[in-house]
Amino acid sequence: MTEPRRRRIAFAALAAALPLSVCLAAAAGSVALPPGSVLSSLGSRLGLPDFSPLSAAGATILWTVRLPRVLLAALVGGGLAVVGAALQSVFRNPMADSGLLGVGSGAALGAVLAVKLGWGQTFLALPIAAFAGAMAAVLAVYVLAHAARRASLHGLLLTGLAVSALAGAGTSVLLVATEEFRVKTVLFWLAGGLEGRSWTHLQLGGAWILAGTALLLALARPLDVLSLGTDEAAALGLPVHLTRLTLLALSSLVAGAATSVAGSVPFVGLVAPHALRPLVGPLARHLLPASFLAGAVLVVLADLASRTLSAQMDLPLGALTAFVGAPYFLLALRTSEGRA
């Protein structure tokens, strides 16, 4: 089968899977809603006749609880997958993701610091503090890498690992020093999850994710040139340093916004683009939109599983994506070593 045909089939399958998974996730849960009524209710908001209306309680569950959570899951998954695809091209490493920039560790530190200061019960305090922590970690990586004259990809990678370790150590110290009843406020956030997310979270986090993702998609051609290597990109007239800095800043913005509203959701940025590259090819103009669709489907289904596998509580979303991503990572690593 030719690559264009594989690519068309992959895009068609992903384009069909995303609305189906959103509808399934909106209908399923502790209170099951008829899928036909869910589709009818969604269509009514678009001006279509409501052939199978939901009850008042069902409509409240759908529009107040389920739909904002499901849509936020799709945006978080899509954003993280696009970031992973972009960073894999920037670092020329198929195993790269946002963790290389210290985003997750910085967000965790910011959230725990907010809880330590007693802001845990304040509305939107944790997401805002997490976003600030993520951006502070990325800024620290940039500043330290340039101060040490290690602005190369290798230097950024090493600096990011060091900053992540420092932020993780700070998080551990704050958790130990925080009262137990406050620690419980942040533990589920650290494990990743979308419980209690509302339209406000969707509007705040989704705006940054969509804006950053759109800009990354617009930079697909420079990203392809940059993936050829520093010398080759410079020879083709690309401002390498400015382009790389812009791509890393946008990736940090998207990953920071996603982490601030969903907590730690690992491996999405690694699995989606890595799995799709053989199907759609390595070009960013194909890989980035395909990764967005695949990441959205992955997190929507993982969040659905987190709500339905246990009747007592929501399971950690980050743990479920890790259960899928870690074996895939080990398999991909073993395959790449076998080829080498």
Q: Report the pLDDT averaged over residues 165-177.
A: 87
SS3 190: helix
How many other β-carbons are positioned within 10 Å of the β-carbon of residue 139?
Answer: 15
Q: What is the pLDDT of residue 199?
A: 93
pLDDT mean over 158-171 = 88
> How many C-beta neighbours within 10 Å does residue 44 have?
16
Global pTM value: 0.89
How many CB atoms are closer than 10 A to CB 42? 18
Which domains does the chain possess?
3-333 (1.10.3470.10)
- Structure token digits, residue 182: 């406050």
Structure tokens at 321: 């994506």
How do residues 75-130 score in pLDDT, each as one tens digit? 999 999 999 999 888 888 777 777 777 888 888 888 888 888 877 677 778 788 88
Q: Does the pLDDT of residue 18 top 90, yes or no?
A: yes
* CB neighbour class for 79 (10 Å; exposed up to 12, middle 13-18, buried from 19): buried
Could you tell me which of 182, 168, 158 has the C-alpha nearest to residue 104? Answer: 168
How far is the first Cα of the chain from the last one, in angstroms, to the nearest whole number? 25
Calpha distance 160→166 (Å, rounded): 10
Residue 291, pLDDT > 80, answer yes
